Amino acid sequence: MKKIPLPYFNQRKADIDMLVIHCQAFDETQSLQILHDVQLSAHYMIGLNGKIYQLVEDKYRAWHTKTGASYWKNVEDINSRSIGIEICSPSLGQKQYTKNQIHSILRLCKALTKKHHIKKQNVVGHSDICPNRKPDPGKAFPWKYFARQGIGFWYNINDAKKVQETDEGKMLSEIGYNVADLTAAKWAFCKRFLPDVIPTDNVGTLIDNPIPKNAAELMQGSNISEVLKAVFYKYNKVP
């Protein structure tokens, strides 16, 4: 691990209980320059070759998501309670991450969740906490594989029949999503749990329009209701 300290941080206002995974559509040099230009930061960055960089010490509040525009489980100051990881991805997570990156991300996530006692339900993507603004870490992030390795959680579709709840907004809210814009919340949910629903777009489109105008139509033909029930069930069973 290489340390490249960034000065964009302050004191935390809460204990660490979340891990947030981001990505940027640039290599290490460009990503660092952009963070400097906009005076933002993350605790860690994963380079294109899988190299891990520490940018801010865990004990500090890095500025990796916008307070007031991010949300998870009724909390808006995500920065105070989370560790942020940026991954370099030219496709903005639309194409597969490299094996070296996956190995490094997984190793880092295992170390951080153990060190800070972060629950599986609180390992999230940038799009989970900013459903109407952010597309990353993208449809190619291997959430299912990570869950098998103990990071985050996945679902068993057979569990859907065990759930009587039918209110999609209520289930999404209890999982953690901001459901003020229900379509955005469902779209973010699909990015993570139903990635085949998500079309592959270019970086510019994803940044300017993270939710396509036909999102509701694309989701209508999926089994999102059953998957949501299965995820909701699993969410409430994860220790």
The domain spans of the chain are 2-235
- Tokens standing for residue 123: 């390992």
| Active site annotation includes 86 | yes
pLDDT greater than 90 at residue 149: yes
CATH number for the domain running over 2-235: 3.40.80.10
Three-state secondary structure readout of the chain? CEECCCCCEEECCCCCCEEEEEEECCCHHHHHHHHHHHCCCCCEEECCCCCEEECCCCCEEECCCCCCCCCECCECCHHHHEEEEEEECCCCCCCCCCHHHHHHHHHHHHHHHHHHCCCHHHEEEHHHHCCCCCCCCCCCCCHHHHHHCCCCCCCCHHHHHHCCCCCHHHHHHHHCCCCCCHHHHHHHHHHHHCHHHCCCCCHHHHHHCCCCCCHHHHHHCCCHHHHHHHHHHHHCCCC
For the chain, give the percent of residues with pLDDT over 70.
Answer: 100
Average pLDDT over residues 80-105: 97
- Tokens standing for residue 128: 């989970």
User: What's the mean pLDDT when you consider all of the chain?
Assistant: 96
- Catalytic residue, candidates 28, 57, 76, 86: 86
Average pLDDT over residues 98-106: 98
Q: What is the pLDDT of residue 221?
A: 80
Average pLDDT over residues 150-172: 97
Q: Could you tell me the pLDDT band of residue 57, with boundaries at 50, 70 and 90?
A: very high
Radius of gyration of the chain (CA): 17
